[in-house]
Amino acid sequence: MENTERENQKTILIVDDEQPIVDILVYNLNKEGYNTLEANDGVTAVDIALEKKPDLILLDIMLPRMDGLTVCKKIRTKYNMPILMLTAKDEEIDKILGLELGADDYITKPFSVRELMARIKANLRKTEVTDEHVKVDDKENETNQIVVGDLVLDLNRIEARVKDEVLNLTIREFEVLKYLASQSGQVVTREKLLETVWGYEYYGDIRTVDVTVRRIRGKIEKLKDSPKILATKRGVGYYIKIQ
């Protein structure tokens, strides 16, 4: 019975070269009911991630053998599990680079265990909702799309297309685009996107939203400086243009 329960638990890969931090995270995650995997360098992290396919990755930026940003980029070419970047430096460049390379969020050391657990639960919950949505839609076998001009979101496949060209989006990017497209023409604030898509109310930085939207725009717009689909309402938020 116990083995069956553990098989149903979510697995989190902890990547950090400081073993005391890994030990603390393992202790707290196990206490919350998660299975854990560990890696102390970037190369090992990529190997474990690709082989074991954990449900979520806690990824330090400063790592031996391969830095966390490169690890994130390599994993993102294969899988879409949530990646939370850990950094000891409160530097804008690290956060932006991590998000640009496909990380879902970041948290700066030292962090409270309570805040980290809240972010982990929020990211896993969003993934579970997406997975459940796919199962239901597959079962119904119905076309389930949001269409706004040239932009088509296939909710069954978790796939976005612009003029029949499939976009290479992460789950987080797809969720942002889906939320905006579901109310096209209406401006959505950064705070509302953070609360709705990331799943927590102001546990994060609204710059996370800005960088993610910029990343999406780079994939769907031919002219990023003159967007035709994903527009900005300066000082307020973002919206999908009704075409």
Domain end, chosen from 92, 125, 158, is at 125
Domain boundary among 82, 99, 125: 125
CA separation for the pair 103, 106 (Å, rounded):
8
Indicate whether 1 pLDDT > 60. Answer: no
Chain segment 157-189, per-residue pLDDT in tens: 888 999 889 998 888 889 999 999 999 999 999
Query: Domain containing 164: what range?
Result: 143-240
Q: Both tokens of residue 83?
A: 């990646």
My answer on whether 92 and 155 are in the same domain is no
CATH of the domain at 152: 1.10.10.10
What is the length of the chain?
Answer: 243
Q: What is the pTM of this model?
A: 0.74
**Domains: count for the chain:** 2
